[in-house]
Amino acid sequence: MAKTRNESLSPRIANRKALHDYHVLEKLEVGIVLTGSEVKSIRNGQAQLAQAFAQVSDKDLSLTLIGADIAPYTHAHGPNNHERTRPRRLLAHKRQILKLLTQTASKGNTLVPLAMYFVRGKVKVEMALVTGKHRQDKRQDMKNRDAQRDIQRAMTRKRL
């Protein structure tokens, strides 16, 4: 399925630090409840997910994104603008939320947003169930990346 012209021009706000700091166990695409000024600000690329995480509430079975920083829209004034880091509700199916509730109950697992992007005009958030990496895991990842880079260089030299 090809992207429409509008979606290809829309930014993809990524949380690159999450892949460095965590082991991704499972990914999930969810919707998000936003105001108009927040959507316009995201479309301008004015959002950050670096400090964000999601919380699952067992009382009303809801997901909440906490700590996502969406800058105020410059052309919205007064009551039409929004708070930068307010908690935002995430939209998922009840069975998905129940599954996440049991998975996040175990020690060391948390929900972190990996990316925010547009799908058919709606903002979607790619969430990941993650566990934290230790320092030696990060070093091993760097060694693996360097080895892959060396292999790629050797392969390109061999072709020439």
At residue 113, the pLDDT reads: 95
Q: Read off the pLDDT of residues 108-136 as tens digits, 9 standing for 90 and up.
A: 889 999 999 999 989 999 999 998 877 77
Indicate the pTM of the whole model: 0.77
What is the rounded average pLDDT of the residues 82-107? 89
Reduce the secondary structure of 84-126 to three states and give it as a string: CCCCEEEECCHHHHHHHHHHHHCCCEEEEEEEEEEECCEEEEE
In contact, 27 and 114? CB cutoff 8 Å: yes
SS3 content of the chain, % helix, strand, coil (to 5): 35, 35, 30
pLDDT of 1 > 80? The answer is no
Predicted confidence (pLDDT) per residue in 3-45, tens digit = 555 555 678 899 888 888 888 899 999 999 998 888 888 998 8
Confidence of residue 95 (pLDDT cuts 50, 70, 90): very high
In words, the CATH class of domain 5-133 is: mainly beta
Query: With 70 as the cut, is the pLDDT of residue 65 above it?
Result: yes
Indicate whether 94 pLDDT > 80. yes
Between strands 22-32 and 47-48, the pairing is: unpaired
**Which has the minimum average pLDDT: 60-69, 84-93, 133-142, 144-153?**
133-142
55 touches 105 (CB < 8 A): no
Nearest to 17 by CA among 132, 151, 155, 124: 132
pLDDT band at 160 (very low <50, low <70, confident <90, very high): low
